[in-house]
């Protein structure tokens, strides 16, 4: 999860490298969301960092939009960086490589049957 006060732009690259180095089969590179009624939402509102109080009701809101001002980067940079490392992790070449690692670990073709779409 990204968007914490100490996150920097290089945090994304280090996280991707870690996931690939340790051969994670699946990850969710998501951003922090201040859900209604949480202490996080209250903290961000108190600091004047919320872009919109009821962000989920805003016209045109879509997943990936950042409803607050992160400490160390713009909302757009946070959103784009999360999407960018997801694209890299789930690229075809990365999926194939990680599948081979998973197959070697589990010695089963079930891995392919579960995670590969029918062609």
Give the predicted TM-score (pTM) of the model. Answer: 0.80
DSSP 33-79: ---TTSHHHHHHHHTT-BS-TTGGGSTT--TT---B--SSS-HHHHH
CA within 13 Å, CB half, 119: 4
pLDDT at 112 over 60: no
Look at residue 31 and give its three-state secondary structure.
strand
pLDDT at 1 over 70: yes
Q: Is the dihedral of CA 14, 49, 55, 80 positive or negative?
A: negative
Integer Cα distance of 67 and 50 in angstroms = 6
Interval 26-67: pLDDT, tens = 899 999 999 999 999 999 999 999 998 899 998 999 989 999
The ranges assigned to domains in the chain are: 9-89
Integer Cα distance of 103 and 110 in angstroms = 8
């Amino acid at each position: 999860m990204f968007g914490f006060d100490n996150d920097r732009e290089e945090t994304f690259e280090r996280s991707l490298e870690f996931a690939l180095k340790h051969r994670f089969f699946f990850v969710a590179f998501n951003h922090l969301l201040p859900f209604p009624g949480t202490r996080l939402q209250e903290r961000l509102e108190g600091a004047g960092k919320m872009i919109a109080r009821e962000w989920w009701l805003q016209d045109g809101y879509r997943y990936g939009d950042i409803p607050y001002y992160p400490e160390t980067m713009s909302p757009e940079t946070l959103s784009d960086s999360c999407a960018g490392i997801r694209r890299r992790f789930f690229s075809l070449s990365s999926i194939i490589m990680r599948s081979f690692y998973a197959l070697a670990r589990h010695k089963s073709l079930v891995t392919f049957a579960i995670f590969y779409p029918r062609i």
